[in-house]
Structure 1
Amino acid sequence: MRLPPDIRELVILRIAVLNRAAYEWTWHEPEARGAGLSDADLAELRRDRPDFDERRRRVIAYTDAMTRDVRVSAESFDALRVHFTDVELVELTATVAAYNMVSRFLVALEV
């Protein structure tokens, strides 16, 4: 994968928050810490509007849009192009989609 590990884990934990998937959070929190996310970063992910640098804010906005609305505006997608390659954007999109499926599966089965 070319998507940076901190971004991948940021996305996974944000999805866990949005979908109330405690199990997913529990298993990915150590991975996130290993990827360089701090206690402050983890706390920010639980807020309605996390306060990160521009790159991470764009990732959170994209993750939130895909998770809540499925569709993403062209403006939101174009804002990511400044920070990521085409390959990374595909991986980012696949990560958001896959972990939405995982979290919804876990929540539905009350795991």
Structure 2
Amino acid sequence: MTFRRLSPVLGGFAALTVIASAAINPAATASPPVGTGKVVGTAVLKVIGGGTATVTWKENDGAAHIEKDVALPWEHTIDVVEEANSEVRASGAGATGCTITMGDMLVSFKSEPNPVCEFAYWG
């Protein structure tokens, strides 16, 4: 993936925009986070919609976790490490959006079929 770093916004948070995407290997297994910074809090990854979908999520530049045929809405809480990208994506007819929140702040939101939300903390 190629990313562009934006200036800090929302009191210490920065948004990253995907310029190009890469295919996710479904055979990937979980591995420890590889973020270079300290844990700065938690974030909640959510997929919005009804029915079921395949949800793929990454925590702090780690490997992809793939959950097939999960009931929507879906959510998962992760630790946030400085300067490491986390994301959630969904595919399936029922997936209509995604969000990532850290504390009471919405840091990523998409309202579209097969959504992809990304986030990184740059303190």
TM-score (norm 2): 0.27
TM-score (norm 1): 0.29
Q: Using CA pairs under 8 Å that are at least 6 residues apart, name the structure with larger relative contact order, 1 or 2.
A: 1
Structure with bigger helix share is 1
Structure with bigger strand share is 2
Instruction: Find the structure with the greater CA-based Rg.
Output: 2
